[in-house]
Structure 1
Amino acid sequence: MNRRYFLGVSLSAMAAPVLAKRPAERPRALSLHHMHTDERISVVYREGDHYKRSALQQLNFFLRDFRTGDTMPMDPQLLDILYDVKASLGDTEARYEILSAYRSPKTNAMLRAEGHGVARNSMHLYGQAIDIRFPDLAPSHIRDAAVALGRGGVGYYPSSNFVHVDTGNVRVWKS
């Protein structure tokens, strides 16, 4: 074997493999109905790996503390959890019904004083939690889908007909 043959074989063997293109991910959109304000929103909040600033600002306002009007930047990972839960359920065309999202310190303190069982250091205070349901699904289906993701906390409140999801440590509870 001569040197040219060896180099030719070696170089062709080291040619970069042709990689399949990753299929373009569909834009991530959410459709929400706030049960206390009766507002509705449908918005594409993420395209590929990029969150859309204007959409996040719309969602921050939409998910505000409805009692005080205060806003907080919502954790984009929370939005991703909502998107992934709905995607895993697959068969619902309904909007999420939002019962609580951002909660100001004033509102949180008032709810604690009234005995609503809210945590003193609730993740709602930091824009990292949301209480949800779908009009056409039992909350247990939403709970199961959220738990299967293995991301954040999932609280199940069957008597109040909602599920809490957050971006904290992975944990599950029932109230």
Structure 2
Amino acid sequence: MTESSSLSMTRRALLGAFAATTVVAAPTFSNAAGFLKGAGDIRRIRMTAPRTGETLDTIYWIEGEYIRDAVKEITYFMRDWRTDGVHDIDLRTVDIMTAAHNMMDVTEPYMLISGYRSPETNAMLRSRSSGVAKNSRHLKGQAADLRLGSRSVNQMYRAAMACHGGGVGRYTSSNFVHMDCGPVRSWGS
């Protein structure tokens, strides 16, 4: 949802990641949105949320356009389940998640551990763990913590890193991978 020319390299990297998968994708920057129009350009995200019991399976992008109702569904699905707080989700993060999922060639939905976090939830988690950032991208709707039963943390980490789209954290002992649309960086073991 955020447009910035400084992110064009990241967005080009995402294009490469999508092109390497079964989904053919146009870059997300607006002046190139029509690049692959007519080429079957779709993006689909599948997730489950064990804390709420909800599932999501939606096509959120077709032919260079985000689908407004699907974006609303994603935003609500990725809410802070502890407070029921909803915040706009940065679709660059969803694009990274989708590209990584496609690279792993799985049909299994992601298990969403954490999407948006309210300031109250983030503060509570920080009080329990040193691994929670004070200014977490979760607070801005720009991050997701994800798990797949059929893929290891290392496999998920490598797929997300191959996107060159943002931050990727590997949390092997907790069995999840963090993906965000911030600067390209990595951490964890």
Matched, 1:142 2:167: no
Secondary structure in 2 aligned to 1:31? strand
For structure 2, the 5+ residue unaligned runs are 1-35
Q: Deviations over 1:87-126 (max 9, x none)?
A: 1111x11001100000000100111122352100000000
List 4+ stretches of structure 1 deviating above 3 A. none
Contact 2:43–2:61 (Cα < 8 Å) also in 1? yes
Task: State the Cα distance separating 1:34 from its structure 2 match.
Answer: 0.8
Residue 73 of structure 1 is matched in structure 2 by: 88
Instruction: Identify the structure with bigger relative contact order (alpha carbons < 8 Å, sequence gap 6+).
Output: 2
Matched, 1:153 2:176: no
Mapped partners of 1:93, 1:43: distance in 2:
13
Mapped partners of 2:160, 2:74: distance in 1:
21
Matched, 1:25 2:40: yes
Matched letter for residue 69 of structure 2: S
Mapped partners of 1:100, 1:23: distance in 2:
35
Matched, 1:59 2:77: no
Residue 64 of structure 2 is matched in structure 1 by: 49
- RMSD between superposed Cα atoms in Å: 1.4
Mapped partners of 1:29, 1:146: distance in 2:
16
Task: State the Cα distance separating 1:23 from its structure 2 match.
Answer: 5.6
Contact 2:38–2:63 (Cα < 8 Å) also in 1? no
Residue 98 of structure 1 is matched in structure 2 by: 112
Q: Determine what percentage of the aligned residue pairs are the same residue.
A: 39
Mapped partners of 2:180, 2:37: distance in 1:
30
Residue 13 of structure 2 is matched in structure 1 by: none
Mapped partners of 1:53, 1:36: distance in 2:
25
Which of structures 1 and 2 has the bigger CA Rg?
A: 1
Residue of structure 1 aligned with 2:55, choices 13, 20, 40: 40
Mapped partners of 2:73, 2:37: distance in 1:
30
Matched, 1:171 2:185: yes
Residue 139 of structure 2 is matched in structure 1 by: 125
**When the two structures are superposed, what TM-score results if normalisation uses the length of structure 1?**
0.84
Residue 5 of structure 1 is matched in structure 2 by: none
Task: State the Cα distance separating 1:36 from its structure 2 match.
Answer: 1.4
Residue of structure 2 aligned with 1:111, choices 125, 135, 140: 125
